[in-house]
Structure 1
Amino acid sequence: MDAQSRFWAAVTGLSVEGPVEHRRLVGPTPGHTIWVNAVDRPHTVKNRLHLDVDAAHRDDVVALGATLLAPCEKTGYAWSVMADPEGNEFCVFERGRKVPAYRLHGIGVDCADADALAAWWGRVLGTRVVYDWGWCSLEGVAADDRMTIDFNVVPEPRTVPNRVHWDLTGDVDALLAAGATRLWDMPDWTVLADPEGNEFCVFPE
C-alpha cells in the first residue's frame, strides 16, 4: 500500500496523506483526490477502468517502477500502455517540456456499448458526450478542466469487481431512478453500479 501510494503520487503530481490502510493522494482542491485502498484480491484480468496520465517521457514513469506493456510506436496511438507495480494498466501521454504539475488527465472505461454508457453518464453528470475518432468522451467532469472520461468498446465481458472507480456526490434515489443498481450501503456512502455493472460510490450532497 505504501509503495503503491508513493508510486501514484509521483506519477500524478499529488501528495500522500492518511494512514497506510486508507491512503489518499491530495492536490489543490478536494476534487484533486485519489484514494488508494487495500483489497484482498490480486490483479488477475485487464482493468475495465484505467487512468490516463501525462509525463515528460515514459522513461520517467518506468524509473518510478512502472512496466512498459505497449509503446505508442507499436500501437499507433498517441499513448503508451504501462502497468503500475501491482500490474494495473494505465496510459501515458508524453508531453515533453509541457507536462503540467497535476498529471492525471483522464479515466478510460472499457465497455460493451460505449454510446449507451457514455450517454448514461452524461445525463447523470450533466455534461454532453463528445464523439471523436470512434471514442465517446465526457468533458468538464472533475476539478481539472483537462479531465475527461473516455469510453471504448472492447470484446471481453466484465468478470470481476473493478479495481478503479470514481466517487461522486449526489442523490441515491435519483441515481437509482436513472438506472443505477444499489450494491450495498456504508455508513457515509452508498455503493451503486452503472448499467454495465461498474461500481461507483455516492456521497450525500
Structure 2
Amino acid sequence: MIARFKDLCMDAVGARALAGFWARILNGEVIDTGDGDARVDAHPGGAGPESIWVNQVPEPRTGKTRVHLDLRLADADPSALLAAGARLVGEPDAEVDWWVLADPDGNQFCAFPPGEDKRPGVFELVVDSTDPAAQAAWWAGVVGGQVGGGGEDYAYLTGAAGFPWESWIFDPVPERKRVKNRVHWDVDLTGPDATALIAAGATLLREPDDRAAWWVLADPEGNEFCAFPPRHTQ
C-alpha cells in the first residue's frame, strides 16, 4: 500500500458559499480555514475522513467534471436538496431510479431514494473512466482494497485504506478527460515522498514548494490528486 485516502476537494469561485451548501445538505459544519478556502466537516467537531475541502479558484467551470458523489436521501424525493440550493438536472425514468442534481458551482451529483437500514448522506464516490477495470486495479494498488465488477461495465473498489464511503466507483464513458477536474481527492503517503506513486504510473504535475507541502499528480487517466507527506495537516 502506497497511500491512504485522505479527503475530497472541490474548486469553487465562491468557496464559502459552496461549503455552506454542502454543509446544509450533509448536516455538517463549515470551518473557515482563514485563507479564502473552507472545509465542511460532515461530523461537526473536527476534521475527519468525511471532510470536504472547498478551494477558492479564480477560473469558472469549463466542461464536465468527471468526479461526482452519490447521496442517499432521507426523504422520498430531493425537495430538501432543491430548497437548499441544488438544481435539478435529471429525474428518474425507466432506466434509472435516481435524480441528477447540480450544486451552486455546477458540480453534478446523484441522489438515490432512501434505503432500508441505510443512513442518508454520501455513500459512493464515482469517477468517469474509459477503462474502469484498469482504473480500479491501479487505485487498489495505491490504497489497497478489493476490486469488483469490470469487463465492459463499471468497476468498483471497496475497503480502500482511509476511504470513508461504501464504494469507489469507476463508471464507463467513451470520452477521455479534457479539462481539469474541479473535484479531486487527496491521499496521505505511507512513505516520505511520491517516488513510489510515480513508479506505479502516476504523472507528476507539481512538486512541493514554499507555498504547498504536497505533490500534485495525475492517475493513469489524468485525474488530478494531491499526495501529502505522512501526518501532514492541510
Alignment of 1:84-123 (within 5 A): 84-95=103-114, 100=119, 103-123=121-141
The TM-score normalised by the length of structure 1 is: 0.89
Q: Distance in 1 between matches of 2:228 and 2:181?
A: 19
Alignment of 1:23-34 (within 5 A): 23-28=38-43, 30-34=48-52
Query: C-alpha offsets along residues 61-113 of structure 1, whole Å, 9 cap, x if unaligned?
Result: 11111111111225x22321111112111111121786636x12111100111
Q: Distance in 2 between matches of 1:48 and 1:41?
A: 17
Instruction: Indicate the residue corresponding to 2:226 in structure 1.
Output: 201
Say which structure is richer in helix: 1
2:208 is aligned with 1:183: no
> Structure 1 residues 149, 32: closer, same or farther in 2, change over 3 A?
same
Q: Distance in 2 between matches of 1:107 and 1:58?
A: 19
2:86 is aligned with 1:66: yes
Q: Distance in 1 between matches of 2:157 and 2:116?
A: 27
CA-atom RMSD in angstroms: 2.1
Query: C-alpha offsets along residues 103-149 of structure 1, whole Å, 9 cap, x if unaligned?
Result: 121111001111111110111111111117922111123453x4321
Q: Distance in 1 between matches of 2:73 and 2:118?
A: 6
Equivalent position to 1:159, from 178, 188, 197: 178
Instruction: Indicate the residue corresponding to 2:99 in structure 1.
Output: 80
By how many angstroms is 1:201 displaced? 0.6
Report the count of equivalent residues.
202
Give the letter aligned to residue 197 of structure 1: G
By how many angstroms is 1:150 displaced? 0.4
Instruction: Indicate the residue corresponding to 2:187 in structure 1.
Output: 168
> Structure 1 residues 128, 143: closer, same or farther in 2, change over 3 A?
closer
Gaps of 5+ in 1: none
The TM-score normalised by the length of structure 2 is: 0.79
Percent of aligned pairs sharing the same letter: 40
Q: Distance in 2 between matches of 1:106 and 1:12?
A: 14
Is the 8 Å Cα contact of residues 167 and 203 (structure 1) preserved in structure 2?
Answer: yes
Query: C-alpha offsets along residues 163-184 of structure 1, whole Å, 9 cap, x if unaligned?
Result: 0011111141111111101100
SS at match of 1:123: helix
By how many angstroms is 1:185 displaced? 2.0
Bigger mean CA deviation after superposition, 57-66 or 13-22: 13-22
Gaps of 5+ in 2: 1-14
By how many angstroms is 1:47 displaced? 1.1
> Structure 1 residues 122, 93: closer, same or farther in 2, change over 3 A?
same
Give the letter aligned to residue 69 of structure 1: V
Instruction: Indicate the residue corresponding to 2:68 in structure 1.
Output: 50
Is the 8 Å Cα contact of residues 52 and 93 (structure 1) preserved in structure 2?
Answer: yes
